[in-house]
Amino acid sequence: MYMAQTFCHSVIAFIIVDRAMTLWNITNPLSRQRFQMMVVLLPVFSFPLYQLINPGRGSISFRLESLFDVNRWLNLELWGTIPLGVFFLAIIFRVFA
């Protein structure tokens, strides 16, 4: 669960940082590198920070009420047979293999 949420947060952080660098016309390589490091570091620390702020995040009742729960998205079945989590794992294994 932690890895899936970190991946989702990384994608969102990448989109925001990339758009911000484009809009603000940041061309300095050092500044661009600092912003891109945020894409790596923020998602790693955001999930434990969210857990610290709201310890009930791991409970079943919180998961049942949340709309953007990663577990719900990963259990969606594509074409009625294959869970989306299988494609997520395939992407991770492909990237790290």
| Structure confidence by residue, pLDDT tens digits, 36-86 | 888 888 777 777 787 788 777 767 677 667 766 666 677 777 777 878 778
Among candidates 56, 51, 40, 52, which has minimal Cα distance to 6?
40
Residue 55: burial class (beta carbons within 10 Å; 0-12, 13-18, 19+)? exposed
- How far apart are the C-alpha atoms of 6 and 40, rounded to whole Å? 9
Quick check: 77 and 83 in contact, CB under 8 A? yes
The pTM assigned to this predicted structure is 0.50
C-alpha 49 chain-centroid distance: 14
Whether the Cβ atoms of residue 6 and residue 47 lie closer than 8 Å to each other: yes
